[in-house]
Copies of this chain bind each other. A is one copy, B any other.
Amino acid sequence: MGASVEAMGVSDMVMGENEGPRRIALTPAARRALEAAGRLFYERGIHAVGVDLIAAEAGVTKKTLYDRFGSKEQIVVEYLADRDERWRAFLAERLDVPDRELPARERVLAVFDASRAWALEHSSKGCSMVNAHAEISDPAHPAYPVIAGQKQWMLGLFTGLGAEIAPDRAEHLGRTLMLLHEGALVAHGLGIFDDPIGHAREEARALVSTGGV
């Protein structure tokens, strides 16, 4: 594992990954509801947001909400799966540059650059997966695989890049990059200091230029 990722573009990995949940047809009203739910869940927390509020903000009746999604739990799942999907697409745009294969070292930096850009416009309160995990206690919750899957995917991404940089230490390097990245997201969300993702990027640069030793 990890090595299998090696030569793939990110967009290849986006496909076929979400075998789990997310089968709901997004009618216009459902799309509006999901947009509102996503915004509210992320900014106020999942338990703090009721379905009445989601319906009101989306300009949709509760009936429609339940016709489309069936339950609040499912709205949560769709929210996380949708956000994950958007993030992966956002990242793919910046990693799979057309007509030019970026070397692995630059792709590592590109991940951090993408995170910084994403954080600035979509993610001022930190990682939605981490935040959702804080509110979900039951491991049997259908959102669990989405959360765990996202983190495993990111770890696989870093490990795959690590394999191109220092094959004998791919796993070690991948994990270190993962820690720096997660730490930077948290630090950004809590405003611990200025531009933590940029700081992590520079540490990552030092790591990959020495081969992760």
Instruction: Give residues 163-213 of A contacting B (CB, 8 Å).
Output: 172, 175-176, 178-187, 189-193, 196, 199-200, 203, 206, 213
Interface bracket on A = 35 or more
Chain B CB within 8 A of A83 CB: no
Number of copies: 2
Q: Are B186 and A155 within 8 A (Cβ)?
A: no
Q: Are B137 and A134 within 8 A (Cβ)?
A: no
Q: Are B179 and A200 within 8 A (Cβ)?
A: yes
Instruction: Give residues 40-61 of A contacting B (CB, 8 Å).
Output: 43-45, 47-48
> Which of A9-17, A18-26, A28-36, A123-131 is near enough to bind chain B?
A123-131
Q: Are B155 and A178 within 8 A (Cβ)?
A: no
State in angstroms the CA–CA spacing of A25 and B137 once bound together.
31
Contact of A190 among B43, B151, B192, B203 (CB under 8 A): B151
